[in-house]
């Protein structure tokens, strides 16, 4: 009877955004990890906790760990680039909306003071400041998305290259083990 069937595992938990869960599930396989399960991240609505395990005696472990860190950095940069699409557009829309609200406050104070003409003059930019943010947000977001999308695609290519290298190391280790 062969007693060498024992496999000791190491475990790794990762908290990831739901949008990147499939990327992690597919990517971590290339580093020798097997999905052991998922769970809700406490206190984080848009995140889940993914649990992985792999053989403790995996070959090329140091290189796989280095490539895994590179993978994690690429995913982090992709998330950062994705969020940068919305930040500038949000700031501009909020600023215009607040300015519109300030004009509306001036309009209200004018009418309570009995000044009709300043009330009307201040109400026009106020309503414009309340309607314009929607269109401003969409326009800036589309422009920023056009700039950022090629960078995100480059990061995904880099991510796949890292996974390909790691998978090559795993294949080499499997071939050596079989021989």
Q: How many CA atoms within 13 Å lie on the side-chain side of 11?
A: 7
Would you tell me how many other CB atoms lie within 10 Å of the CB of residue 71? 23
pLDDT of the residue at 1: 44
pLDDT of the residue at 154: 95
Q: How far apart are CA 28 and CA 50, in angstroms?
A: 11
pLDDT of the residue at 9: 83
Mean pLDDT, contiguous 10-residue spans, the chain (179 residues): 69 89 91 87 83 87 90 94 91 96 94 91 94 95 94 94 89 60
Q: How far apart are CA 25 and CA 10, in angstroms?
A: 17
List the Cα angle 144/150/154 in 5-degree steps. 135
Read out DSSP for the chain? ---TT---EEEEEEEEEGGGHHHHHHHHHTTT-EEEEEEEPTT-TTEEEEEEEEETT-TTHHHHHHHHHHHHHHHHHHHHHHHHHHHHHHHHHHHHHHHHHHHHHHHHHHHHTT-HHHHHHHHHHHHHHHHHHHHHHHHHHHHHHHHHHHHHHHHHHHHHHHHHHHHHHHHHHHHHHH-
Q: How far apart are CA 155 and CA 153, in angstroms?
A: 5
pLDDT of the residue at 4: 67
Q: How far apart are CA 10 and CA 39, in angstroms?
A: 18
Q: How far apart are CA 49 and CA 42, in angstroms?
A: 9
Q: How far apart are CA 171 and CA 126, in angstroms?
A: 65
pLDDT of the residue at 44: 79
The contacts found for 34-42 with CB under 8 angstroms, 24 or more apart, are 36/11, 41/15
């Amino acid at each position: 009877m062969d007693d060498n069937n024992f496999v000791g595992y190491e475990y790794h938990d990762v908290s990831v955004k739901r949008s990147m869960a499939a990327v992690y599930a597919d990517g971590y396989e290339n580093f020798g990890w097997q999905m052991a399960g998922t769970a809700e991240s406490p206190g984080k609505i848009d995140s889940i906790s993914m649990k992985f395990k792999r053989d403790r005696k995996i070959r090329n472990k140091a290189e796989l760990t280095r490539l895994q860190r590179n993978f994690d950095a690429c995913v982090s940069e992709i998330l950062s680039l994705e969020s940068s699409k919305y930040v500038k557009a949000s700031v501009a829309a909020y600023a215009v909306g607040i300015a519109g609200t300030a004009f509306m406050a001036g309009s209200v104070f004018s009418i309570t003071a009995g000044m009709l003409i300043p009330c009307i003059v201040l109400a026009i930019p106020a309503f414009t400041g309340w309607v314009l943010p929607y269109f401003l947000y969409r326009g800036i977001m589309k422009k920023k998305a056009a700039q950022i999308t090629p960078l995100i695609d480059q990061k995904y290519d880099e991510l796949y290259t890292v996974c390909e290298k790691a998978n090559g190391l795993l294949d080499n280790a499997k071939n050596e083990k079989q021989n």
